[in-house]
Amino acid sequence: MARKRMIQAMNEALLEEMERDPSIVLFGEDVKASLFGDTKGLWKRFGADRVRDTPICEALISGMAVGAAAAGRRVICHMMFGNFVYTGMDAIANQAAKLRYMTNGQIKLPITYLAVSGGGRSAAAQHSDAIHPVLANLGGVKVVMPGSPADAKGLLKSAIRDDDPVFFLQAAGRGGEPGEVPEDEYLIPLGRAAIRRPGRDLSLVAIGAMVRPALKAAEALSGEGIEVEVVDPRTVVPLDLETIFASVRRTGRLVVVDEARDTCSVASHLAALVAERAFDALLAPIRRVTVPDCCIPYAPVLERAILPNVEAIERAVRETLAWRRPA
Amino acid sequence: MAAGGSNLPREELLEMYRRMVLIRRIEEQLARDCAAGKLPGPVHLYIGEEAVAVGVCRHLSERDWITSTHRGHGHFLAKGGDPARMMAEIYGRADGICGGFGGSMHVADFSKGIIGANGIVGGGIALATGAALAAQLDGDGRIAVAFFGDGAANQGVLMEALNVASLWKLPLILVCENNGFSEFSPTATVTSGSIAERARPFGVPFREIDGNDVIAVWQAADVAVRRAREGRGPSLIEARTYRTRGHVEYEVTFITEPYRDEAEVDAWRARDPIDRFARRLREEDPGVADELAAIDAAVEETVRAAVRFAESSPEPDPASARGHMFATAP
Ligand SMILES: Cc1ncc(C[n+]2csc(CCOP(=O)(O)OP(=O)(O)O)c2C)c(N)n1
Ligand SMILES: [Mg+2]
């Protein structure tokens, strides 16, 4: 174990995996200079054959990832900001997510798409979208959202070894977040949630960047005798329903925090599933803490007003606990 | 005063000078503000490239359209955007040109034909093509100009736009600002062949020009604008220039290894478009020095006024954060 920033943990995972598997190629815009630091040093270590700076052409690189994977490579494709996934969306939605299915399972597509997702840094509407709901809705790509540096390492290594297209979404503004990170071989399987903090009163499911404010809210509420169980799904496709349902069955209450626009967010999806399959366990309506259905604004006061924060989470928890069936 | 045999009227030359200096001083102010931690979001400065926006936009009226890039302050100001309201926008204030919702990468003023800066590289190319279609349908001689970088020229949409604009004879001018870099990648490492010549197979006239020579830009734009206004179709101009500042302010905090030589930067500073133009004007007419000084002083005052305006503007009301999503309430 050593204390590292999330971006360093990712860098370590990339380095170890590329070392381990010479079939891996990595490409994207400015991966050599490395804006975020995740691909730092890889070009020096592995050379220009395996680590390539591409021109600005997302429509091409997202599709090249599919072609190179179909032709036998394990591919890591850096899309930079989540919003640039949209400019590369055709090959992602129409090729990566569908090629295996359409060809009756003839091929595997071992691709890891990297992107920074979400807001909080006054980067404005075209650099701040939380893109996981759009991706989750494609059906054919897995979606990983690490909530801590250690998870970032273990999940990224698993994503790279996975034989399907996987989006690894690093939360904007969380790259510098420090935490203990295990050395060397450390794998977290995709599709396994983690209970970050046990609690008997309410299940608080927090996705990606939302894990940290959820834990802070849980800590604060604990001072008042409210014990919240914080569940971090870690991957939204596949989604570990078993762990989430088990938690809800223990506590009887659910709040989901998701830094996505509310309509068709993962929070909404999860709320629907729990309402459908665990209705009998619920003592109160499910609450979602999400982003309103608008763009992410530039000015800090505006952005703060719409992104989920500790106060909004605490409020949702209190209101859920205070809820009484109307007489 | 002829400035390089251009036969441009004196007032026009001085106005070009004024606009270039205005862009420069506003952006120098933004660089200081950014260093002082006063700007909430990222800013990409246009310093060193001012001649391109000014040489082109001097041909445009408020009724013509432009689309711009993430490096868009220069286009905004050259097209007649209000410096104070742009400043307030970048400060994230309520009186910003977009109410604080857009910031540096989204400054826009539709009342002046400024469809706006863009956070998506290449995003403006299609928008300008659409504006050119609308202008063509209006049939009143309006045109559209897309400013985009050498990096953006590698997005497939450039080819798509060249094809459609040529086929439909759209009043479109594609202005590629080749400033030597696509973020931190030198152009030659990510761009093959010639950008200007990408127009050739589509039958679109093209020219490669010295983008640090405002007269050369003005002249190339003159030809392209006439062609567009007369309904003869699109043109492409590749202006060779250089960004003397970083890709984005405070890049030194995350780019640990140099990606260019200081000597290269110095060589381009020696070809600074404003200094060069001022020198030329003075050589041709020593008497112009006083006028240039007066313009400099007036611009300094405009910048100070813009800062005062931006600083005194309140922050936007958080209750308004959902903004103007739809024209008709759902
Ligand atoms: C679709 C898209 N891909 C990537 C980026 C990230 N990005 C921002 S500016 C830039 C470089 C643009 O280069 P160029 O078009 O030459 O413009 P310059 O910055 O040199 O003015 C990149 C890659 C982006 N904003 N949009
Ligand atoms: Mg460039």
Statement: residue A232 has pLDDT above 70? yes
Nearest CA to CA, how far is A1 from chain B (Å)? Answer: 25
Q: What does the pLDDT look like over A288-311, one tens digit per residue?
A: 999 999 999 999 999 999 999 999
Interface test with chain B among A298, A303, A306, A307, by most B beta carbons within 10 Å: A298
pLDDT score at B4:
56
Q: What does the pLDDT look like over A257-267, one tens digit per residue?
A: 999 999 999 99
Pull the structure tokens for residue A161: 């070894």
Statement: residue B5 has pLDDT above 60? no
Q: What does the pLDDT look like over B274-306, one tens digit per residue?
A: 999 999 999 999 999 999 999 999 999 999 999
Which residues make beta-bridge pairs with A78? A28, A114
In chain A, domain spans: 2-181, 194-322
Average pLDDT over residues B267-277: 98
CA distances from A325 to A284, B123, B208 (A): 8, 51, 73
Q: Using an 8 Å Cβ cutoff, are A37 and A68 in contact?
A: no
Kindly list the protein residues whose Cβ atom lies closer than 6 A to any atom of ligand 1.
A 29, 56, 58, 80, 84, 87; B 69-71, 119-121, 149-152, 179, 181-183, 247
Angle between helices A149-161 and A6-20 (to 10 degrees): 30
Q: Which positions in chain A touch B106 (Cβ < 8 Å)?
A: 124-126, 298
CA distances from B280 to B24, B210, B211, B285, B297 (A): 18, 15, 16, 8, 20
Fold of B42-243+258-270: Rossmann fold (3.40.50)
Q: Is the CB of B325 less than 8 angstroms away from the CB of A293?
A: yes
Q: Using an 8 Å Cβ cutoff, are A152 and A189 in contact?
A: no
Taken in order A18, A22, A23, A28, is the CA torsion positive or negative? positive
Amino acid at A240: D
Cα A236 to Cα A147: distance, rounded to the nearest angstrom:
12
Average pLDDT over residues B88-115: 98
Q: Which residues surround ligand 2, an ion (CB under 5 A)?
A: B 149-151, 179, 181
Q: Is A187's Cβ below 8 Å from some Cβ in B?
A: no
Residue showing tokens 């090729």: A95
Give catalytic status of residue A127 as yes or no. Answer: yes
Give the one of A60, A294, A298 whose C-beta lies nearest to B325's C-beta. Answer: A294
* Mean pLDDT computed over every residue of chain A: 97
Q: Which positions in chain B touch A127 (Cβ < 8 Å)?
A: 105, 119
Q: Take atom 8 of ligand 1 and give the residue whose Cα is closest.
A: B121
Nearest CA to CA, how far is A282 from chain B (Å)? Answer: 32
Element (H, E) at A197: strand A194-197
Residue showing tokens 């349902």: A245
Q: What is the B183 CA–ligand 1 centroid distance (Å)?
A: 6
In chain B, domain spans: 42-243+258-270
Q: What does the pLDDT look like over B151-199, one tens digit per residue?
A: 999 999 999 999 999 999 999 999 999 999 999 999 999 999 999 999 9
pLDDT band at B329; cut points 50, 70, 90: confident
Give the one of A57, A300, A305 whose C-beta lies nearest to B154's C-beta. Answer: A57
Name the residue of chain B whose CA is nearest to A86's CA.
B120
Residue showing tokens 């504006």: B131
pLDDT score at B165:
98
Q: Is the CB of B40 less than 8 angstroms away from the CB of A55?
A: no
Q: Which positions in chain B touch A308 (Cβ < 8 Å)?
A: none
Nearest CA to CA, how far is B219 from chain A (Å)? Answer: 30
Q: Using an 8 Å Cβ cutoff, are B225 and B61 in contact?
A: no
pLDDT score at B175:
99
CA distances from B2 to B6, B8, B274, B277, B308 (A): 5, 6, 17, 12, 38
Question: Number of Cβ pairs closer than 8 Å across A and B?
Answer: 135
Judge if A2-181 and A194-322 fold alike in CATH terms: yes
* CATH number attached to the domain at A2-181: 3.40.50.970
Which residues make beta-bridge pairs with A142? A166
Q: Using an 8 Å Cβ cutoff, are B14 and B295 in contact?
A: yes
The CATH class of A194-322 is alpha beta
**A292-324 CB burial, b ≥16 within 10 A, e <16:** eebbbbbbbbbbebbbbbbebbbebbbebbeee
pLDDT band at A1; cut points 50, 70, 90: confident
Q: What is the DSSP string of A42-57?
A: HHHHHHHHHEEE--S-
